[in-house]
Amino acid sequence: MCHIEAASPGGPRYNENQSEEERNGINNLLFLCHRHHKETDKFSIEKLKHIKANYEKQFTEADREASNNMIRQVQDEIEYFWNKQKIKEFEPFDLKIKRDFELDINGLFNELEENIIKVRNYCDLTAQTDSDTEIQKDLTRLFDLAGIDIKELTKVPYYKNPFINRNWEFHNIGRPNLFTHVELSFLQLKLRVFEALINSNPADEKLKAELEECRKRFEDLYDNAYYVD
């Protein structure tokens, strides 16, 4: 095991500014037979690093094209996984959450966006039902059913009443800020995926159009995205 910059003072190319971790790290080590180890004593740091890089490059996948066999293997594994999901049986079947395994990437993005919109709508509905007006109506109906005079509540200071401004900060600050973050993350992810797809298929005009539409949506949102405070 040869140190490019020597392990101890007095050795070839010793660097007193190196830490022990750097000195014994993989970037400073090169495996050589004994004879060549001794011959490198007169080599420069640059030459040894060049030898190391060229040698290690032979055993990495960088700059290698995947063979047809490798590609087929990956495709077979992908197909096997999804086919296995399709034939699974569940009990009780009528309560099982079902999936469409034929959806392409754009279809999955559309489905995800629809669910994000549903969550936003649920939060909007909660904000409406938590409003002072709606809570007052509900309390009035409840007190009438119980035969209690609602006016008794006026004796409680507003800042001690848990039904005044209920969850106000969550609904009016947290909720809009959260969904701005979610939408930005979603569109940025969609852009990155489409960019990767267009790199492998630059002639796909439909994909180009979807990419441009997504870019416009992201820019419009990002340019006007500020925290509600």
What's the average model confidence in pLDDT over 199-217? Answer: 91
User: Residue 106: pLDDT above 70?
Assistant: yes
The answer to whether the CB of 215 falls within 8 A of the CB of 194 is no
User: Residue 120: pLDDT above 70?
Assistant: yes
What's the average model confidence in pLDDT over 217-223? Answer: 96
pLDDT of residue 109: 96
- Give the orientation angle of helix 105-129 with respect to helix 175-200, to 10 degrees: 180
∠ CA 143-144-145, rounded to 5°: 90
What's the average model confidence in pLDDT over 201-215? Answer: 91
User: Residue 64: pLDDT above 90?
Assistant: no
Buried-state track 120-130, b at ≥16 Cβ within 10 A, e below 16: beebeeebeeb
pLDDT of residue 65: 62
pLDDT of residue 35: 80
What's the average model confidence in pLDDT over 172-192? Answer: 95
Domain ranges for the chain: 2-57, 105-223
Q: Which of 21, 15, 73, 70 is nearest to 48 (CA)?
A: 15
User: Residue 61: pLDDT above 70?
Assistant: no
Phi and psi dihedrals of 2, rounded to 5? -100, 130
| pLDDT tens profile 71-93 | 888 888 889 999 999 999 999 88
Confidence band (pLDDT; 50, 70, 90) for 104?
very high
| pLDDT tens profile 123-180 | 999 999 999 899 999 999 999 999 999 888 888 998 898 888 899 999 999 999 999 9
pTM over 0.75: no
